[in-house]
Structure 1
Amino acid sequence: MDQFSATDAALAGFRAAREKPGAVAVWAAIMAVLSFAVAIVAVSTFGDKLTALTAAVEGDPDPKTTLAAMSGLWPLFLGSMVYVLITNSVLLAAVNRVILRPGDGAGAYLRLGADELRQAAVQVLLYLVLFGAYFVGVVIVALLGTIGGAIGGAGLGVLLGLLAGLALLAGLVLLSVRLSFVSTLAFDTRRIDLRASWDMTKGRFWQLFGTYLIATVLAVVVYLLLLVMIYAVTTIGSMAMGGGLAAAGDTLRGEATTLQELFSVSGVIRALLSGLMSVLVSLIVFAPAPTIYAQLKGRDVSDAFV
């Protein structure tokens, strides 16, 4: 099959959430517990530094002050990157499993095995490829800007730099779309193959780009709606517990930086809803690629949503 339904693919995440509510609920519960546990460790270990960083960002816009406040947080940032890599790998494999192996639903489609390890390797590889392309592109943009400035003055240098910057952005988007099947191929064939993704997406860039763009916009809308819900629920919870408007305002500041804030009613509610938000957004963004892949392979993706 040479064609796919862009609409079906863009809405695949919503269909998965509708048809597999039990699995999605399990994912959200696990993510909420994990996020809450990670937050406890982070606040217990780096609470003072997080408070100092928050004060620096809110009170002094000087980059040097902010960087100084961040200097002791590199273990937290590194740990957060590893956490995101692991959770994304598990969710990516689970979404691929829902669509490509719908009958393999034991454990709410969640595993910790070779499929998840390959997803982690794919994420690292794609990051290195995109970062490498970005680095080379930035060097070229700088060179063109310098050459243009030397030949035709500052105006030409700025113009060439701007055009080169737009070309770099377009190139990164192109590369991302053409390599968008790497994750699904790694899951389905158990091989990490950049060339196979490049070949499968040949001649389909604009249709794929439109599908991914629609899915991204929908994910942003869902994120904002759930964010409003989180703020509303935590605000009502804080006021119901007698905190008044001042406490309600504190719930809108952002992430908790003390254990007291974390274990408050609003903090717990926020953690639970944040787990649901991360799962739904991930599902909407991750589901289109395996859905399109399955359609191009001639598989009946409707089997995944029954």
Structure 2
Amino acid sequence: MDQFSATDAALAGFRAAREKPRAVAVWAGIMAILSFIVAIFAVSTFGDKLTALTTAVEGDPDPQTTLAAMSGLWPLFVGSMLYVLVTNSVLMAAVNRLILRPQDGAGAYLRLGGDELRQAAVQVLLYLVLFGAYFVGVVIVALLGTIGGAIGGAGLGVLLGLLSGVALLAGLVLLSVRLSFVSTLAFDTRRIDLRASWDMTRGRFWQLFGTYLIATVLAVVVYLLLFVMIAAVGAIAGMATGGGLAAAGDALHGEATTLAELFSVSGVVRSLLSGLMSVLVSLIVFAPAPTIYAQLKGRDVGETFG
């Protein structure tokens, strides 16, 4: 099969949530618990530094002050990146498993094994490829801007810099789309093959780009709706337990920086519902690629969503 349904692929995450609600509920529950545990560790270990950073960002926009407040948080940043890498790897493998191996539903499609390790390797590899392309592109943009300025003055330099910057952005989007099957290929074939993804996406850029763009917009909409819902539920819960109008402000405050904020009613509600938010957004973003891959391979996606 050489064609795929862009609409079906863009909505694959929603269909997965509708057809496999128990699996998605398990994912959300696990993510909520993990997020809460990580938040407790972060606040108990780096709470004072997080408070200082929040104060610096909100009260003093000076970059030096902000950097000074961030200086003691690098272990938290590194740990957060590793946490995101691990959780994304498990979720990406689970989404691929749900769509490509719907019969393998034991444990809500969650595993810790070779598939997950390959997903982690794929994420690191794609990051390095995209960062390398970005670095080279930035150097070229700077050179073109400098050359244009030397030849035709500041106006030409700015114009060349702007045009080459747009070209760099377009190139990164092109590269991301053309390599969008690497994760699914690694899961399905157990091989990390950039060339195979490049070949499978040849001649399909605009259709793929449109599909991913729709899925991204839908993910943003869901994120915003859930954010409002989390804030509202947290505020209502806080006010119901005697928090007064201040509870509404706490619910909209963002991330907790003290244990008292974290263990408040609004803090607990926000942490629990954030698990659902992260899973749904990840599902919407991750599901299109394996769905398109399955359609191109002539597999019956209806076995998954039927």
TM-score range normalised by the length of the shorter chain: over 0.9
AA at the equivalent of 1:27: W
2-structure distance, mates of 1:252, 1:220: 18
Match of 2:163 in 1: 163
Superposed displacement of residue 240, structure 1: 1.2
Match of 1:150 in 2: 150
Match of 2:111 in 1: 111
Does 2:6 align with 1:9? Answer: no
Superposed displacement of residue 249, structure 1: 1.1
AA at the equivalent of 2:246: A
Match of 2:289 in 1: 289
AA at the equivalent of 1:295: Q
Superposed displacement of residue 191, structure 1: 0.1
AA at the equivalent of 1:269: V
Q: Does the residue aligned with 2:255 lie in a helix, a strand or coil?
A: coil
Match of 2:278 in 1: 278
AA at the equivalent of 1:28: A
Match of 1:257 in 2: 257
1-structure distance, mates of 2:251, 2:271: 12
1:21-40 aligned within 5 A: 21-40=21-40
More divergent stretch after superposition (247-256 vs 40-49): 247-256
1:61-76 aligned within 5 A: 61-76=61-76
Match of 1:128 in 2: 128
1-structure distance, mates of 2:112, 2:250: 38
More divergent stretch after superposition (232-241 vs 190-199): 232-241
1-structure distance, mates of 2:267, 2:43: 13
1-structure distance, mates of 2:271, 2:250: 16
Q: Does the residue aligned with 1:299 lie in a helix, a strand or coil?
A: coil
2-structure distance, mates of 1:104, 1:57: 47
Q: Where do 4+ consecutive residues of structure 1 move more than 2 Å?
A: none
1-structure distance, mates of 2:184, 2:192: 9
AA at the equivalent of 1:155: G
Superposed displacement of residue 105, structure 1: 0.1
More divergent stretch after superposition (245-254 vs 113-122): 245-254
TM-score (norm 2): 0.99
Superposed displacement of residue 250, structure 1: 2.3
Superposed displacement of residue 216, structure 1: 0.3
Does 2:183 align with 1:207? Answer: no
Give unmatched runs, 5+ long, in structure 1.
Answer: none
Any idea what the Cα deviations from partners look like across 1:61-104, whole Å, max 9, x if unmatched? 10110000000000000000000000000000000000000000
Q: Does the residue aligned with 2:298 lie in a helix, a strand or coil?
A: coil
1-structure distance, mates of 2:255, 2:72: 18
AA at the equivalent of 1:133: A
AA at the equivalent of 1:199: D
Backbone CA RMSD of aligned residues: 0.6
2-structure distance, mates of 1:5, 1:248: 43
2-structure distance, mates of 1:217, 1:63: 32
AA at the equivalent of 1:70: M
Q: Does the residue aligned with 1:244 lie in a helix, a strand or coil?
A: coil
AA at the equivalent of 1:64: Q
1-structure distance, mates of 2:249, 2:109: 39
2-structure distance, mates of 1:228, 1:4: 34
Superposed displacement of residue 293, structure 1: 0.2
Aligned residues: 306
Q: Does the residue aligned with 2:245 lie in a helix, a strand or coil?
A: helix
% identical aligned pairs? 89
C-alpha contact (below 8 Å) 2:57/2:66 kept by paired residues: yes
2-structure distance, mates of 1:176, 1:285: 13
AA at the equivalent of 1:188: D
